[in-house]
């Protein structure tokens, strides 16, 4: 499989400063607001990420992890999910740095179906 750049999709939980800092480093990100899905349900957000081949970035592990598990149990691939723990949710610098690192890793390794936490 050819590895390619990934695009992240952030839900309402992800701080705007983290998004802007990651973008300045060359990371491609689409926010829930930019997608026109602000306030939509978690299943709608998850479906949007899958349909657009976006790696989901969220602080809402409680709701998204079961959706992800169902998807994989059904035998489907997914471009990955990145969970931000409550402890790190407001750490914009760390979030931006980790998104950049994962973005760079995708150029070398297949990150599909991976789940990561910070």
Strands (E), 1-118: 7-10, 28-31, 54-58, 81-83, 115-117
pTM of the model: 0.84
In this structure, what are the phi and psi dihedrals at residue 58, rounded to the nearest 5 degrees? -150, 155
Per-residue model confidence as pLDDT tens digits over 26-44? 999 999 999 999 999 989 9
Per-residue model confidence as pLDDT tens digits over 97-116? 888 887 877 766 666 767 77
């Amino acid at each position: 499989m050819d590895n390619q750049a990934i695009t992240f999709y952030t839900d309402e939980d992800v701080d705007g400063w983290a998004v802007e800092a990651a973008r300045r480093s060359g990371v491609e990100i689409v926010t829930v607001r930019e997608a026109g899905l602000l306030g939509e349900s978690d299943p709608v957000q998850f479906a949007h990420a899958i349909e657009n081949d976006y790696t989901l970035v969220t602080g809402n592990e409680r709701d998204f992890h079961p959706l992800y598990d169902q998807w994989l149990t059904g035998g489907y691939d997914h471009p990955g999910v990145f969970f931000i723990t409550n402890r790190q949710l407001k750490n914009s610098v760390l979030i931006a740095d980790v998104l950049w690192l994962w973005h760079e890793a995708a150029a070398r390794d297949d990150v599909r179906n991976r789940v990561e936490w910070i």
